Homo-oligomer: A and B are copies of this chain.
Amino acid sequence: MNRIDLQLLRDTLLAALREDIGPGDITSRSTIPTGLRGVARIMAKQALTVSGLPIAGEVIRLVDRDCDFLVLVSDGTTVPDRSALAEIRGPACSLLTAERTLLNLLQRMSGIATLTRRYVDRVQGTKARIVDTRKTAPGLRALDKYAVTCGGGMNHRTGLFDGVLIKNNHLAFHVSPVDSIRAARSQLGHLVKIEIEVHHLDDLPNVIEAGADVVLLDNFTPDQTRQAVELAGGRVPLESSGGITLENVRQYAEAGVDYISIGALTHSVPAVDIHMRIAPE
């Protein structure tokens, strides 16, 4: 997350603040005297991999420029339970108003990073890379994908615009996978790669010959995956997808694929436990 990214995320963060604050935080307004200052400590309440602290800093800045945000660990770090992640000093009312939006972002993003890190750790020592999918929370694609990299994962394409992936639903309109690859190739720019989904071992040689740049093995068992790796013989990178869990991910990695994509990294995120304790300064 560099400054450019934060600037481009501004509308997303403002929308999140607006839906929570609306016409005003009536609890803080009515209970906290104007002028009081506070200090907020953001703490991990479980072991986790951190993601989203620069985002949290941007949120607090959007709420009130008079807050000082001190980051205590870097995104991507795995910290033990009870670690301090950041400290904010500023008007008490601003800290209280920003709290929930800020935590909602941090808990989701660190949840994604933490889950990704577990998958990445499971395949350690193999050449397989853990990659994400487009199954992100609507509106949070950029944040979700950034969180995956904090957990050591790799990003697949961002959206429909920066990579071709021909899936079953596209193939329904073609006589053969080979036919669809040819149609795509004739229309696409020279910096575009074509990945295609196959569901049977038999389709693999054809799509490789037709010029696929990457092949996705959809819902293959680890055994079928091993056969596919042999059949491909290193001519194209292979990606496993579908039905892969923390339990079986290493089997896929050991079968020799290059990439393993996991929808659950972003579509079924367990929030990690992060608290914010606010006190008078």
Question: Is A124 on the interface with B (CB-CB < 8 A)?
Answer: no
Question: Is A202 on the interface with B (CB-CB < 8 A)?
Answer: no
Q: Tell whether, in the assembled complex, residue B159 and residue A22 are in contact, meaning their CB atoms are under 8 Å apart.
A: yes
Copies in the complex: 6
Task: Tell me the complex Cα distance, A27–B157, Å.
Answer: 12
Q: Tell whether, in the assembled complex, residue B131 and residue A189 are in contact, meaning their CB atoms are under 8 Å apart.
A: yes
Q: How far is the CB of A247 from chain B (nearest CB, A)?
A: 16
Q: Tell whether, in the assembled complex, residue B267 and residue A104 are in contact, meaning their CB atoms are under 8 Å apart.
A: yes
Q: Tell whether, in the assembled complex, residue A160 and residue B27 are in contact, meaning their CB atoms are under 8 Å apart.
A: yes
- CB within 8 Å for A30 and B187 given contacts A18-B8, A21-B161, A276-B169: yes
Report which of B4, B26, B99, B159 forms a contact with A192, defined as CB distance below 8 A: B26
Chain B residues with Cβ under 8 A from A151's Cβ?
none
Q: Tell whether, in the assembled complex, residue B173 and residue A36 are in contact, meaning their CB atoms are under 8 Å apart.
A: yes
Question: Is A93 on the interface with B (CB-CB < 8 A)?
Answer: yes
Question: Is A84 on the interface with B (CB-CB < 8 A)?
Answer: no
Task: Tell me the complex Cα distance, A100–B93, Å.
Answer: 32
Q: Tell whether, in the assembled complex, residue B4 and residue A134 are in contact, meaning their CB atoms are under 8 Å apart.
A: no
The closest CB in chain B to the CB of A21 belongs to B160
Q: Tell whether, in the assembled complex, residue A3 and residue B138 are in contact, meaning their CB atoms are under 8 Å apart.
A: no
Q: Tell whether, in the assembled complex, residue B100 and residue A134 are in contact, meaning their CB atoms are under 8 Å apart.
A: yes
Question: Is A205 on the interface with B (CB-CB < 8 A)?
Answer: no
- Bits for A217-245, please: 1 = Cβ < 8 Å to B, else 0: 00000000000000000000101000000
Task: Tell me the complex Cα distance, A36–B173, Å.
Answer: 9
- Of the candidates A138, A154, A160, the one having the most CB atoms from chain B within 10 angstroms of its own CB is A138
Q: Tell whether, in the assembled complex, residue A195 and residue B184 are in contact, meaning their CB atoms are under 8 Å apart.
A: no
Report which of B11, B62, B188, B277 forms a contact with A7, defined as CB distance below 8 A: B62
Chain B residues with Cβ under 8 A from A111's Cβ?
268
Q: Tell whether, in the assembled complex, residue A173 and residue B34 are in contact, meaning their CB atoms are under 8 Å apart.
A: no
Chain B residues with Cβ under 8 A from A31's Cβ?
166, 170, 173-174, 180, 183-184
Instruction: Pick the 8 closest A-B CB pairs, nearest first.
Output: A163-B191, A16-B138, A22-B161, A25-B160, A30-B187, A162-B162, A267-B271, A139-B139
